[in-house]
Every structure is written in structure tokens, then in C-alpha cells.
Amino acid sequence: MNKPKFLFKIFLFLLIFSAAPVFAQSETKQPQAETCYEVVLQVLIASNEANTKNTVPATLANAVKKLKTLYAYSDYRISSTFLQRTSNTVEYKSLVNDLSQNFDRATPVFSDWTIRGLRKSPNSERTLQIEVFRFGARVPVVTNRTDETGKSANSIIYDTIGITTSKLSLNANEPTVIGSLATSKPDELMFLILTITPVSQ
């Protein structure tokens, strides 16, 4: 028997034998599911009015403690809570009854908020990154107008308020203050608090 041919056949057999498990693994390997997140956006109202009906949950204690070092408000209450589940993007549009009490009760408030590009940070398992966060609301503004006969009448127009920020980082499962907005009352502020928790599918 020709020795070079014999050695070549042995080499070829060993090569095929060693590659077989690799091919088997590639065929049976399942695609990895995307991480799913529970997104909670809370609207916190700060004022100096005593309020006993709506207490702040214990989960926001640290966020409120931090705000009290920056602002001289004595009372904090939750106005609205939004809950969404996503792997990357949230697009929310709705009427918001809770916010209406800060404006004209006879007219609704329209709200929309967006999260785009939600993902884990490549440098830390605990840190999450958001490409774009936007919160907006269309609120009623009452104006007084006089017609041609001299009669005055109220007219309602809608104005837009909101916050847009990009390249945002926050810790998973930790309530984070995103920003603040003024309300129709001079002694109030509205704070947006975002909590994002990775969850199993």
C-alpha cells in the first residue's frame, strides 16, 4: 500500500471526525430570545399642599428623598402610572384623566410618550441604555375673548408641553428621575420617574 495515500486517508478521517460535533452543535443551537423589559413611568406631583389621599409608594422613597434636597416642596404624590412591556420600543398615546386635575377639569389632557433603542449596556449588566426618551402632553389653555357685540366668552386652545432626551443611561430596577415640568399652578412641579426591570419572557 502506498504510505502517503494511507496517511492522507487517516488525516482526512480525523478531520471529518473532529468537525462532526461542530456541525451538530450549529444545527441544534437555538436562536437566543431578546431580553424583555417591564417599563414603569410615573408622574410625581410636588407641591406645598397637604395631601393624605395619595401617598408615595415605598419604591420611590429614595427618589423623593433626593428631590427634597433640591426643592423646597413639602408634599409629593403620584398623579399617573403607566406600565408597558417591551424588548426595545414603546409608543404610547392616550387620554390622561389624572393630569386633568392640574388644568381645566372640563377638558381632557392628551399624553404620549416614547422610548426607542432600549438595551443593556455592553459594559455593565446592571446598566440600561435608551437611545431616545420623549414625554409629551397636550394641555388645555383657557383664554377670554370678546366678540363683535362686546360679549366675553371663554375659548379653549391646546398647547404642547414635554421633555425629549437622548443617550440616556439608568440602572435596572432603580427609579430614576428623568426631568421636571411645570403645571398650571405656580407652586407645583411635575416629575417624571422611570423604572425599567428586565423580566423573563
Three-state helix/strand/coil letters over 155-199: EEEEEEEEEEEEEEEEECCCCEEEEEEECCCCCCEEEEEEEEEEE
Categorise residue 150: left if φ over 0, alpha if ψ from -120 to 50, beta otherwise: left
In the prediction, which pLDDT does 46 show? 92
In the prediction, which pLDDT does 60 show? 94
Instruction: Divide the 201 residues of the chain into consecutive groups of 10 and give the mean pLDDT of each group.
Output: 55 55 53 83 89 77 94 90 93 75 66 94 90 90 74 79 93 95 86 92 59
In the prediction, which pLDDT does 152 show? 78
In the prediction, which pLDDT does 24 show? 47
- Report the chain's mean pLDDT, rounded to a whole number: 81
In the prediction, which pLDDT does 148 show? 74
